[in-house]
Structure 1
Amino acid sequence: MSSNHLYLVDGSGYIFRAYHRLPPLTNRHGTPAGAVFGFTTMLWKLVDELHKADGPTHLAVILDASSKTFRNEMYDQYKAHRPPPPEDLVPQFPLIRDAVRAFSVPCIEELGLEADDIIACYAEAALAQGWQVTIVSSDKDLMQLIRPGLDLLDTMNNRRLGAEHVLEKFGVEPERLGDVLALMGDSVDNVPGVPGIGPKTASQLIQQFGDLDTVLASTDAITKPKLKQSLIDHADNARLSRELVRLKCDAPLPEPLDDLALKGLPPEPLRAFLEDMGFKSLLAKVGGTSTGGPTVLALAPTGQEAPPPPPKLDAVPFNHKDYETVVDEEALDRWIAEGFKCGRIAVDTETDSTDPVRARLVGVSLATAPGKACYIPLAHIGDGLLSETPKQIAKTTAIAKLKPLLEDPSILKIGQNIKYDMVVLAGEGIQVAPYDDTMLLSYDLDAGLGGHGMDDLAQRHLDHACIEFKTVCGTGKAQITFDKVTLDRATEYAAEDADVTLRLWQTLKGRLAREGATRVYELVDRPLVPVLARMETAGIKVDREELARLSAEFAGEASRLEAEIHKEAGGPFTVGSPKQLGDVLFDRMGLKGGRKGKSGVYSTDVNEMERLAGEGVTIARMVLDWRQLTKLRSTYTEALQEQINPKTGRVHTSFSMAVAQTGRLSSTDPNLQNIPIRTEQGRRIRDAFVAEPGKVILSADYSQIELRLAAHMADVPALKEAFAKGEDIHSLTAQEVFGEVTRDTRARAKTINFSILYGISAFGLANRLEVPRAEAQAMIDRYFARFPGINHYIAATLAEVREKGFTTTLFGRKTHLPWIRSSKQGERQSAERQAINAPIQGTSADIIKRAMLRMEPALAAAGLADVRMLLQVHDELVFELAPDQVEAASVVIREVMAGACEPYVSLSVPLGVEIGTGSSWGAAH
């Protein structure tokens, strides 16, 4: 056996651990660097600890080069549902590669291969030469590689994983793990698997039959009818899944094994990197003979060492055993009395669903001081048929006792995303008020600097890792609802939530005034919470039959298009396969301009297909239409039917207040913000959103609000005058830029008007208008010559952001853009484009929120209290009302929306509001 020992570090795992571990720091260039700092310290610690043990002779860090690999050629939906990485993490990827190289350690990645495949290739090559191999990861896919001479090192839990771990966790040996993974699938990577088969069943099948092929060939021996039929129906998906989870072990090595030899840690490259990044606390560790793990210190936003922190309000250690489980009235009375005495209390609810309208209240947690928290179980039922129902206070009794506390106007209730708790508690007859929301406090202080969920905030501000929901309730098929969790475990999890929320409030609330965020928090975001809660509870009626009819129509049209595509292509192929489509277009049909990636597959993304369609290639336009129809069907006409609440017959979207960086609301389950309206088929989706019998839908939409705000904020007299006179702004722009108004010039002017506000380049405008770049630049130059105020606004905004690091709306909402100072052109230009639009789009978001705040009182004052506001989508509000209320309500709605800024902001342009009504949302347009 060779004395060589190769360590392969799964770099992606390190990156995301580092990102979520540290606050959103920036380096001395203004680029986000929290993940870089964390990754550097983690790699340093690993190298140091391995050196002190029987460390490696060879070491490499393996990274993913791109999101598209050969697996996407096999299955175009592979990893299709994975969200993109956080915006502030993207510019850190190249810096992390620099960090690895600064340690004089190879940093290896390869287009077309995932990091797991590269690791597998190196592992096989090293084992073939008799080397020992350790993979620094706990990823289940990599566990397939475990065998004599190869183990995994789980640095999170400081343990080594061998075949016995796989056997204990999955019930099979590592060489058969791939068959288990294929049967159970993977929702994160979108590996289909076989529906209804979870880890336990998959393991039992492989133990019984030996391998996947034998399982699929032995369905006659399976006695459970549903399991048998599922295996028969989804055999092809199982085989596909087996190939998707199979690691590629035979690709050429990007660098020879011998080049991975550790040759010490030369100080100069590391010193230069740390100096460039401004990591002074790490720089102090370079030199001499010390290679110990560095002490992690916070960085100031300028990249300088942070000043001494203020006294920590969260100095009380987290001790989950100190939390109390409240199961009798005497204890509950004591906690309620403590809440009244303190004058403020953190509150959180536990339920059996993430949908607050459908959720059943399972328990309530309270916290009165750091470390002092309790959980009040109300509906726990035990975790099995034979388990006893645990002792709890009667739900009606507890609700009656909690109601005075949670509704008392002198007691502040503190929540994290308290809107959810408001909806749940309203279902129990409790109207929570007054309140603070730590999620919104963070959002209004630090938008653009990281996530605002509890886990992120606890890591960033309290240096605390919260108990994960999955560790309490499990995952996948084995997941249980919270009412089945044992009371001791439920108390640790739920009381911690309340404890963390209170500590976050103590940390964040005092910053509002110091950092100028009080106005946007108190006048826009915080008071909007109950308004949105009522809208979510109201929901909107959906016509299931219309959705089913549209779904069938889209399926038929997609099938017809597929046949036409096959005819145009000269034979059948899988239209949804990028590889097959590329081969058909550029090999079989001989179309020009095809671009192959490093994996050898032609690009068939939307830009490529639109290029071909613009050149008159019929099949490209048909493929685009086919893709849209299949997406409309899967995302809307089919999915919406599943999201109809069986009790109300309505869909109840959840409005998210702290996702979009500029202050805009977003929505989920279903996402109503992204229903396409530019095509006829997309617009018809809205026809399925209908009024209740005897009611109508009213849509009120701000007209060109961002252009109006640009005219005001940039002080452009010609545009302000045109809006004041009610003139067509796009025709005015066409006249100013092109010297004439025709259908073509007006359309181009419209594109220019909106593109300028998004900081578009000449290259981008040229692509949109399909003109040469020089011509697009000439249009931009003429636009700025006619409207110099816009150019001045852009220059002044960029200068301010480069100085302060954030933009500000007219209401004081900040959007942080730290990478505006990046030395990398692509990152810097992306931040500049966001900086140009953020004040305008953010002010627009603030205005419609202000309108929503005033709407219900104004309608009630006009005797129209039963007019219900149902939806907010971009610049539009949607209402449900009786037909005889339309005239009076339209007056109130238009007046409220037009005057939403006042009295805090006075605009020099009028806000136009367009109103329409109909039996459906679509008809109201």
Structure 2
Amino acid sequence: MTTNHLYLVDGSGYIFRAYHRLPPLTNRHGVPAGAVYGFTTMLWKLVDDLHKADGPTHLAVIFDASSKTFRNDLYDKYKAHRPPPPEDLVPQFPLIRDATRAFSVPCIEQPGLEADDIIACYAKAALAKGWQVTIVSSDKDLMQLIEPGLDMLDTMNNRRLGADYVVEKFGVPPAQLGEVLALMGDSVDNVPGVPGIGPKTASQLIQQFGDVEAVLANAETITKPKLRQSLIDHAANARLSRELVRLVCDQPLPEPLDDLALKGLPPEPLRAFLEEQGFRSLLLKVGGPSAEPVSAPAAIAEEAEPPFVHKEYETVVTEEALDRWIADGFAASMIAVDTETDHIDCMRARLVGVSLATAPGKACYIPVGHTGDGLLSETPAQLPLDLVLTKLKPLLEDPATLKIGQNLKYDLVMLRRNGVDVAPYDDTMLLSYDLDAGLTAHGMDDLAMRHLDHACIEFKTVCGTGKNQISFDKVPLDRATEYAAEDADVTLRLWRKLKPRLSPEAATRVYELVDRPLVPVVAEMERAGVHVDREELARLSGEFAGEIARLEAEIHALAGSPFTIGSPKQLGEILFDRLGLKGGRKGKTGVYSTDVNELERLAGDGAEIAAKVLEWRQLAKLKSTYTDALQAQINPATNRVHTSFSLAVAQTGRLSSTDPNLQNIPIRTAIGRRIRDAFVAAPGKLILSADYSQIELRLAAHMAEVPALRDAFARGEDIHNLTAMELFGEVNRETRGRAKTINFAILYGISSWGLAGRLGVDRIEAQAMIDRYFDRFPGINRYIAETLTKVREQGYVTTLFGRKTHLPGIRSSKQGERQAAERQAINAPIQGTSADIIKRAMVRMGPALAEAGLADVTMLLQVHDELVFELPESDVPAASAVIRRVMETAAEPAIRLSVPLGVEIGTGHSWGAAH
């Protein structure tokens, strides 16, 4: 006879975990629903398939009915310090209870009792009947209940918690945990405890004396004076705390145990709930003819996937096993692949191993470069690198086998460096990016938690942290296999979740025409790197150091004494307390704000010290971020700097650059532009810069249908001169400068206050300028109004290529968040379309140059609207023509623009000289 197994889910813990794990989301009615969505996926995993091997026969979700319980009668300050729940979480509470009932799972709460007490009552009643009990929570208060037959399930870390865990963490068995909790107190719940007693001391006292009463009875014998006196003075609080942490176990059950029987997952109530909320991706999981989702193709009903069992992953150390996995990959016609290395920089890293997955739960790790940890450790048995790559190459290059990766660009570089060209491929990071930009981060850990409700093994648990961290080649093979094979397994499962969503959610176009083809292009740019002049960087560093020292002396003289200029606290005290400058404002920490806006305001009011601090900050940043750091980032093997381009970070679709960041080198100041002079061409070559001219204004003219702007661009006129004439009736240096500011500011949804600050005028005059702008160019005003209407209705905006930028803040009850989302909504379609166009140009550039016989022209960098190349001087005329043509026609044939795209090209021996 099967033993009944009751699972009791701490619903409150699930709610807050779901709320904090996802960004703000709204359902199809515009109601906040991020926690509802997260709770639904987590409960689904538990009910349907997470623990099928040892699943529940009975299950209930337990909630707190109200904030006031019998404990408040015992102590009116109980939980008094807890802040109210977040404003956008409150309306989700009833929806979460609806979600629980939609699973046909009992949803239990009891006025006057906390969820922990209800759980305790059910746990004791079930144990009395000989049932097994699992509490789904990691709450320390509930650990008091652990005993033979009852354990806890920490789904966040995918582990079972028993008595040994409690002893390891608190030093006492579960039966004595309440005594420890009483002495140490709880600042979150405002359980007073005994001042000065923390977990370690509380544990030692209970180990020595047994319980709180015994500790108090023996207080006089304790040798530490402060501890002895604290126990004597606060004995009443210790006794009160013991009652506050004691769980109620003997109240009548709100529903009989037998009524908690788990009867599968009836599709209809769940389907109705998911349709009501608009959770389309979850609707696909309901399955069955009667549960065919109305908003998605019926053919994409997912089968239940096996749980993650890390011990079943295979470590491949024989040719026979490797051949078997390769055959499985060919047979499946698709395979997830991931590489492990000994360095985060793919241009310095050495390949340590390759992991593969051919089906959910079926994954392996092929070690090729593990060395063992320490001089005395043996190198583990593994196949030679050359043999593995020779055997894998036909599979990874097979045009009939799809390769699936997460952030595949890194793996492409690693494998290309080892002679393997991976194709065709899909990238789950980009699938998520093109489906859910603005709703979630797109790293593997975030996606696994969001879509699979699975917490991936953390890198630090395998390799350690700080000075004790080891590189992956020193990780033992069993741990390396669990970590690496899990990556491939998760990647495959994510692909099965995300790829079917492309078509029904209209993301196929941007994925297939823009983002996916870009991966190998960017990988090659990273491999190419860019040459920097180390001597010029060193010279600039020395020059900047001298200027920084001079500025420090001048700032200290103005302040009246030396202080740490980089300390916001000290700087604020100097500016507002000692010097008495007006307008200082303190934040929550009590420190004056000294951000760039504050310093610019003070400098504008004539405060010389503020202007010099701004100059000091710029020089210090340029020195530390570029002239010093770039020297250290020169790759010794290539003598070039290899930046890493992030494909799925910027919400609008733009690429971003890190390690080093080459996209934020300031170009509006002469001193910032000098940094670019250190980026030089290799001997015998030149740098070519090709920059879209005012592309966002051109796209605005097209997307907003503004005839005056379209005609001006068609005639090749200076658009800022046109705007100056339209707004101010004359064109001179001042009016053109103001017109340029207004042209771009309007596209960023600027307010009259914001424009007033930029132009140095009052708000009324700024508003008059905005009104005149809209009068002269009504299409812009219409575009803004229509865009805001759409984003409020659907929660996202799109580019001309269909890239979605989700803006959940558009429905925020907080005015600041809502206005920020409105500004993003106005600009994102334009900036995003610009990003899409330059990406298409990058994808087409290599084939176009090759066709023209220009194989020696290398694309090095993309910086917003600019592409940077290195080429032989003799190729400049021919290459310029090809590059200009590719960039000007990049939108075609998918999009026919009503304005021409202008491209400015310059060349020189350095990046700076090419401008």
TM-score between both structures, scaled by the size of structure 2: 0.74
2:759 is equivalent to residue 759 of structure 1: no
**Deviation string for 1:332-358 (max 9, x for gaps)?**
111111111111111111111111111
Pair 862,444 (structure 1): closer, same or farther in 2 beyond 3 Å:
same
8 A contact 1:25–1:300 mirrored in 2: no
2:779 is equivalent to residue 789 of structure 1: yes
- Residue 508 of structure 1 and its aligned partner are, at CA, apart by 1.2
2:527 is equivalent to residue 537 of structure 1: yes
Secondary structure in 1 matching 2:705: coil
Secondary structure in 2 matching 1:550: helix
Pair 333,636 (structure 1): closer, same or farther in 2 beyond 3 Å:
same
User: Which protein has greater RCO, CA pairs closer than 8 Å, 6+ apart?
Assistant: 1
1:406 to 396, 408, 414: 396
- Residue 595 of structure 1 and its aligned partner are, at CA, apart by 2.2
- Within 5 Å, give how 1:279-428 maps onto structure 2: 303=277, 307=283, 309-310=286-287, 311-313=301-303, 315-428=305-418
- Residue 93 of structure 1 and its aligned partner are, at CA, apart by 5.4
- Within 5 Å, give how 1:723-872 maps onto structure 2: 723-872=713-862
- Residue 431 of structure 1 and its aligned partner are, at CA, apart by 0.5
Pair 548,60 (structure 1): closer, same or farther in 2 beyond 3 Å:
farther
More deviation, 817-826/805-814: 817-826
Q: Paired residues, what number?
A: 732
8 A contact 1:32–1:819 mirrored in 2: no
Q: What CA distance in whole angstroms lies between the structure 1 residues aligned with 2:331 and 2:760?
A: 68
Pair 440,309 (structure 1): closer, same or farther in 2 beyond 3 Å:
same
* One-letter amino acid of the counterpart of residue 781, structure 1: D
* One-letter amino acid of the counterpart of residue 34, structure 1: G
**Deviation string for 1:544-590 (max 9, x for gaps)?**
12111111111110110111112222222222222222222223222
Secondary structure in 1 matching 2:531: strand
Q: What CA distance in whole angstroms lies between the structure 2 residues aligned with 1:62 and 1:16?
A: 17
Pair 581,138 (structure 1): closer, same or farther in 2 beyond 3 Å:
farther
Q: What CA distance in whole angstroms lies between the structure 1 residues aligned with 2:641 and 2:523?
A: 14
Pair 423,833 (structure 1): closer, same or farther in 2 beyond 3 Å:
same
* One-letter amino acid of the counterpart of residue 309, structure 1: V
- Residue 17 of structure 1 and its aligned partner are, at CA, apart by 4.8
* One-letter amino acid of the counterpart of residue 846, structure 2: E
Secondary structure in 1 matching 2:677: helix
2:655 is equivalent to residue 662 of structure 1: no
Pair 638,16 (structure 1): closer, same or farther in 2 beyond 3 Å:
farther
Q: What corresponds to 2:710 in structure 1?
A: 720
Q: What CA distance in whole angstroms lies between the structure 2 residues aligned with 1:49 and 1:321?
A: 43
- Residue 300 of structure 1 and its aligned partner are, at CA, apart by 5.3
Q: What CA distance in whole angstroms lies between the structure 2 residues aligned with 1:322 and 1:867?
A: 49
Pair 776,597 (structure 1): closer, same or farther in 2 beyond 3 Å:
same
1:588 to 543, 567, 578: 578
Q: What corresponds to 1:641 in structure 2?
A: 631
- Within 5 Å, give how 1:394-793 maps onto structure 2: 394-793=384-783
- Residue 642 of structure 1 and its aligned partner are, at CA, apart by 1.6
- Residue 52 of structure 1 and its aligned partner are, at CA, apart by 12
Q: What CA distance in whole angstroms lies between the structure 1 residues aligned with 2:643 and 2:37?
A: 39
Pair 317,505 (structure 1): closer, same or farther in 2 beyond 3 Å:
same
Q: What corresponds to 1:107 in structure 2?
A: none
8 A contact 2:630–2:660 mirrored in 1: yes
Q: What CA distance in whole angstroms lies between the structure 1 residues aligned with 2:591 and 2:768?
A: 37
**Deviation string for 1:278-327 (max 9, x for gaps)?**
xxxxxxxxx9999x9x9999985974687563443452111112111111
Q: What CA distance in whole angstroms lies between the structure 2 residues aligned with 1:412 and 1:797?
A: 38
1:95 to 82, 85, 88: 88
**Deviation string for 1:675-724 (max 9, x for gaps)?**
11121121111111111111111100000000000000001010011111
TM-score between both structures, scaled by the size of structure 1: 0.73
Q: What CA distance in whole angstroms lies between the structure 2 residues aligned with 1:59 and 1:46?
A: 18
Q: What CA distance in whole angstroms lies between the structure 2 residues aligned with 1:399 and 1:16?
A: 46
- Residue 840 of structure 1 and its aligned partner are, at CA, apart by 0.4
Pair 392,288 (structure 1): closer, same or farther in 2 beyond 3 Å:
closer
Q: What corresponds to 2:146 in structure 1?
A: none
Q: Which has the larger radius of gyration?
A: 2
More deviation, 295-304/893-902: 295-304
- Residue 825 of structure 1 and its aligned partner are, at CA, apart by 2.1
**Deviation string for 1:811-856 (max 9, x for gaps)?**
1111112332233322221111111111100100000001101111
More deviation, 484-493/311-320: 311-320
Q: What CA distance in whole angstroms lies between the structure 2 residues aligned with 1:63 and 1:609?
A: 37
8 A contact 2:26–2:33 mirrored in 1: yes
Q: What CA distance in whole angstroms lies between the structure 1 residues aligned with 2:355 and 2:94?
A: 48
Q: What CA distance in whole angstroms lies between the structure 1 residues aligned with 2:783 and 2:67?
A: 55
- Residue 413 of structure 1 and its aligned partner are, at CA, apart by 0.8
Q: What corresponds to 1:912 in structure 2?
A: 902
1:874 to 851, 860, 864: 864
8 A contact 1:377–1:392 mirrored in 2: yes
**Deviation string for 1:252-296 (max 9, x for gaps)?**
xxxxxx99x9999xxxxxxxxxxxxxxxxxxxxxx9999x9x999
8 A contact 1:23–1:460 mirrored in 2: no
Q: What corresponds to 1:194 in structure 2?
A: none
Q: What corresponds to 1:26 in structure 2?
A: 26
* One-letter amino acid of the counterpart of residue 60, structure 1: K
Pair 807,98 (structure 1): closer, same or farther in 2 beyond 3 Å:
closer
Q: What CA distance in whole angstroms lies between the structure 1 residues aligned with 2:245 and 2:872?
A: 79
8 A contact 2:691–2:867 mirrored in 1: yes
* One-letter amino acid of the counterpart of residue 79, structure 2: A
Secondary structure in 1 matching 2:503: helix
* One-letter amino acid of the counterpart of residue 332, structure 2: C
Secondary structure in 2 matching 1:689: coil
8 A contact 2:24–2:808 mirrored in 1: no
More deviation, 415-424/16-25: 16-25
Q: What corresponds to 2:79 in structure 1?
A: 60
**Deviation string for 1:401-431 (max 9, x for gaps)?**
1111111111111111111111000111000
Q: What CA distance in whole angstroms lies between the structure 2 residues aligned with 1:456 and 1:881?
A: 41
8 A contact 2:19–2:89 mirrored in 1: no
Secondary structure in 2 matching 1:759: coil
- Residue 916 of structure 1 and its aligned partner are, at CA, apart by 0.8
* One-letter amino acid of the counterpart of residue 95, structure 1: D
